[in-house]
Amino acid sequence: MSLRGRLTIETLPETQRSLGAAEAGGQIDMAAVEALDTAGAWALLQAQKRAEATGHALEIVNLSESHRHLLETVAAAMPEPERRRRTIPGRPDDGLANLGQEVAQGLRGSLTSVGFFGEVVAHLGALVLHPTRLKLTPLVHHMQEAGWNAVPIVSLMGFLIGIVLAFQGSTQLKPFGAEVYVVDLVAISILRELGILLTAIIVAGRSASAFTAAIGSMKMREEIDAMRVLGLDPIDRLVLPRLIALVLLLPALGFIASLAGLLGGGLMAWIDLGITPGMFRTQLLANTDVTHAIIGLVKAPFFAVIIAVIGCHQGMQVSGNAESLGSHTSRSVVQAIFLVIVVDAFFSIFFAVWGL
């Protein structure tokens, strides 16, 4: 048989089809072939191999000089076809094994998290002994990034929550003529719980992901290894500034959010129930104890530690590829928010038991 035209990657399917007839052996005349590339050469050699496998000889004749050269190059590189062993991870009959693996992996993950936390605490201890080791520039930078830049979103969130609480509270309390207790409702729930919890959740979304992405991409480009060989400790340089910045500023953010919440609640109470700002203030000072605000703020540093440690730890665990960066970033946000809520629940129980 004779081939004609272009035997290239664009025409590969047609070439393969016309070569299908040649498997019974014989000759392939290449005189009319205008262009040959590695894909075409591969198809020819593949046909030759198949013919040989069935005991026939397939000869390729009338090759131009450059085509013969190409055919030789490709023949020299022809890869052995490999047996593909495929393991399909999600196969249904592996369900139990998969579950076990996942649980084991999860446990191992939380163990390394605890290990990392311990390491950070050790470095913090060393820092207390040698406070000059803390670099101020990165600390201030992270305070701006994670703290100051979050002020607008956090205050808007607090303000809206205050409005929602006051509005919902007023519709519920009106039938009982207990409108004025809207003030207590808004103040206690925001100061004690919602202000700080929602701030922590927003900061977890903003900063835990930012920490993971920043540290993770440094990990990918071997910058962390470069720091280690230069004698710079990644925990001192990368983790501690972020941790300290958040511990210092999360209480402040929570406080701002709570104030904004009271403002929103007060506004809504004024519009909806006619509670004037003066009345709001009197009611607030008379009935809402300052312990509520303190209880709220006490939790903030704990949340900050959770967010910073998880964010940085997930960043450190990023391996060489972009996909792992993405999955660790999302994991860091999910874990941070989840743990913040769990710890908040423990605090509630703790304070309830103590009768606060």
27 contributes a contact to other proteins by CB under 8 A: no
Sequence-distant (6+) residues with CB within 8 A of 181 are 169, 173
Quote the CA–CA distance of 173 and 179 in Å, as a whole number: 5
73 contributes a contact to other proteins by CB under 8 A: yes
| Residue 87 half-sphere exposure toward CB, CA atoms < 13 A | 3
Return the residue matching tokens 């390491």: 119
Closest by alpha carbon to 269, among 158, 168, 156, 196? Answer: 168
The helix-helix angle for 240-273 and 151-173 (nearest 10°) equals 40
Quote the CA–CA distance of 331 and 310 in Å, as a whole number: 9
* In the complex, minimum distance from the CB of residue 310 to other proteins, in angstroms, rounded to a whole number: 23
How many residues interact with other proteins (rule CB under 8 A)?
31
Q: Which of these ranges, 3-11, 102-110, 194-202, 336-344, lies near other proteins under the rule CB under 8 A?
A: 3-11
Query: One-letter amino acid identity for 7?
Result: L
Closest by alpha carbon to 297, among 237, 250, 234? Answer: 250
231 contributes a contact to other proteins by CB under 8 A: no
Please identify which residue in 9, 21, 104, 121 interacts with other proteins, judged by CB under 8 A. 9
Pull the structure tokens for residue 157. Answer: 């969130």
* Closer CB to other proteins, 100 or 320, in the complex: 320
* Closer CB to other proteins, 75 or 164, in the complex: 75
Site for other proteins in 49-68 (CB under 8 A): 66-67
90 contributes a contact to other proteins by CB under 8 A: no
103 contributes a contact to other proteins by CB under 8 A: no
77 contributes a contact to other proteins by CB under 8 A: yes
34 contributes a contact to other proteins by CB under 8 A: no
Enumerate binding residues for other proteins (CB under 8 A).
Answer: 8-10, 12-13, 16, 37-39, 42, 46, 66-67, 69-70, 72-74, 77-82, 220, 319-324
